[in-house]
Structure 1
């Protein structure tokens, strides 16, 4: 892994869907020295461009938003009711510390949990069953927090054996790999490195990039986390990817079937460079590639996937070797686009 501090800064930063300001600041600071120009569009996508020779253009995208919540109601007794920003498994959210982001700063809270003595076995079914406790009475809570404030999990990234763990590695791991490649690559085409927003609610930021008249890509590549389920209780046939086996080269997900020519090209580059890689087929996730592939007309498309265990939780886990492999493959591929796009 090239830069642990950068990855941890990305994972630590708050960036719930539609409110990506804090992580956007980290991205801009890291990306600006590696590109010829950097812009932020009206939706909040950050685009850093490296001008290459010739007329080939490549768009590389990774989404910087994370799933979170929005306050839907402040109750008379001081609790916050929530509306989801993205897809949560509500059962994992009991007993989680959270941060509420208000106009006046951040406020600590916890999502409470019933003690074992009184808990019904199936007492949490969806977000409506949860509430945030601020440790304040109703009047103080209403003065401190407003409807529409956003909420994120409070989870610090840390090393875990050969892995890293924390919140939002889907897709801060992909953003990290894109930024690291932008620093290392010597591309043979003009490359637009795009940190996108609102992926978790329908690939919205990537769709804005795909329809932006400033870009006319010959190739689009997206980086995202993919499911890694090689854990007790999950059938081996349902694992999708394996931690430590390298970068995933996507064959299919619910949003896209990448171009076979791009799949073959990425595989050839990986094998020529000795980069560990694995095949990926995922039936129930989507990625920015789905929005980039055809929103502005047909374009060659591919996707690189980082295996992430415990998706959409405060303990998302990625292997450091897989991160390094992703950086290496993207870096190498960007120097060889001429072999794919003539």
Structure 2
């Protein structure tokens, strides 16, 4: 579990809930196996997340930045979400090295502070960007003309800027504590046992504002759009494109919430409530480690959202890939000219 202070904002969770022998006493004689579990589990998982997240989000950003005849507020939110994911995945190799060395940090105090900061900025910015995306999709479907100005490109950038400033500023407390020397090793990403009681209070605030409020908003949007679709007479060709994309966006966002964020926030709360110094609870510690990895893996699932629910993403993707395909050879024969003219009709 990461050793750090937390603020009262939703962007700051209480700790990473990464558990090892230092969670009770780094030199304890208790037979805790969670340290060995982390040494085997985290490097593999973080390496997979790094490769998939870097490739998926890096290429998605490239696609979003391709010149296109029409830009939308949805793509602005997705571009910012992909940027957050890419910045976070850049920190994962440091985590891999830390656990391979048996929880020994060698990259300096400042880098250790950035590790905690990056995780929670990514987690809660992802939560808010996914929520805003779902709300915008819902409003564009139910009130497409009445709220046209509210979903403009300019307003989308303003909302993104507000989210970035709010999350990053409220997470600044995470930069106050860095690495700590314990014997012959330097610890990072560990819980400060002296702040356990304060962490519990901060966890409740972060749980409500940072997770439950967005999750309830997302769920309400899902129910309301289902209700709206039930009132619409669906033609034989299926749902309209706007309805289909709105429903796809909200469903994928809900899956990410349920798979990545809900287990972590639930077990983090249980873990803090049951935590006692000099106590080893291997099953719970390992479960929390797994849910933390799932929370980090949200950066791998977001590219699926871009592909299936992004505005013009597939067209942009084809345009980007087309740059690397050789053009068809030109033909000057009369038959070729005739064939080209026929295909244009």
Greater relative contact order structure (CA < 8 Å, 6+ sep): 2
Judging by fraction of residues, say which structure has more helix: 2
Q: Same fold (TM over 0.5)?
A: no
TM bucket by the smaller chain?
A: under 0.3
Length-normalised TM-score, structure 2? 0.25
Length-normalised TM-score, structure 1? 0.25
Judging by fraction of residues, say which structure has more strand: 1
